[in-house]
Amino acid sequence: MPLYKTHSSSLPAPAFQVASDGVTHTGYVRTRNEDSILLLDEESIWAVADGMGGHHAGDFASQTIANNLSLYRQQPSLENSILSLEENIIKSNAIIREKSCQIGKNETIGSTVVCVYLWKNYAFTFWAGDSRLYRFRNDQLQRLTEDHSYVEELVRMGKIEASDAESHPAANVVLKAVGIYDNLCLDFEYFELLDGDIFILCSDGLYKDLDDKTIVPIIKENKDDMVQLTKTLLSSSLDAGGTDNISIISLKVSQKS
């Protein structure tokens, strides 16, 4: 029996109003789209998942995460809300692991995920893999997540420059994802919201083709319209090659008057 069916009057009133938009696209090189996105505005949760695995297994992995997260409902306390979100993704991990066992031991199925949850005047993020969360504030773009990838480790160790990471032969090697191991440990961070903050959730298909210097002016030109911002980021990524599946969610928080 579910712990809840409807919203409780004790749920927190959001301190900010949110405008959001999202899109996912196959790109020009891949034959199918293994990404999934979720915009659950009424529960203040947004997520991007980037699947991996042959025979449509990547589709299954990313869709499993999005479908499970779509069932999420806010809890009266922050602690229970965070716990519920984490348990939701861990449940997705178990479902994907079971599917992997059914297909065979030599088949790897998994999906990266980046998830944002807003509570009052804070943003919380969970992630695994190389899907990213960015924040645009005071005309500056900052990445708020660290990739769980082989090239990110090389950058941390000083063996390659960050600017060379995307062109490295092992750029697609992910070290952590939902479904690739029996036990999943998600990374977690939280940030205080400020009026006008813009967040970008994306799969690696966006930043493979667009660097930060290209993304910043696009955000500046479309900072008041999340639909146009998402559309322009996608079209710019496609114009730059569309070398992978591209998923983007743009959301802006504004102080309630």
Report pLDDT digits (tens) over 23-74. Answer: 999 999 999 999 999 999 999 999 999 999 765 789 999 999 999 999 999 9
Identify the weakest region by mean pLDDT among 83-87, 122-126, 159-163: 159-163
**What percent of the chain has pLDDT above 90?**
74
Domains and CATH numbers, the chain: 16-20+31-147+173-205+247-255 (3.60.40.10)
- The predicted model gives 110-115 an average pLDDT of 97
Whether 185 has a pLDDT exceeding 70, the answer reads: yes
Report pLDDT digits (tens) over 119-152. Answer: 999 999 999 999 999 999 999 999 999 997 656 5
Three-state SS sequence of the chain: CCCCCCCCCCCCCCCEEEEEEEEEECCCCCCCCCEEEEEEHHHCEEEEEEEECCCCHHHHHHHHHHHHHCCCCCCCCHHHHHHHHHHHHHHHHHHHHHHHHHHCCCCCCEEEEEEEEEECCEEEEEEECCCEEEEEECCEEEECCCCCEHHHHHHHCCCCCHHHCCCCCCCCCECCCECCCCCCCCEEEEEECCCCCEEEEECHHHHHHCCHHHHHHHHHHCCCCHHHHHHHHHHHHHHCCCCCCEEEEEEEEEECC
What is the reported pTM?
0.88
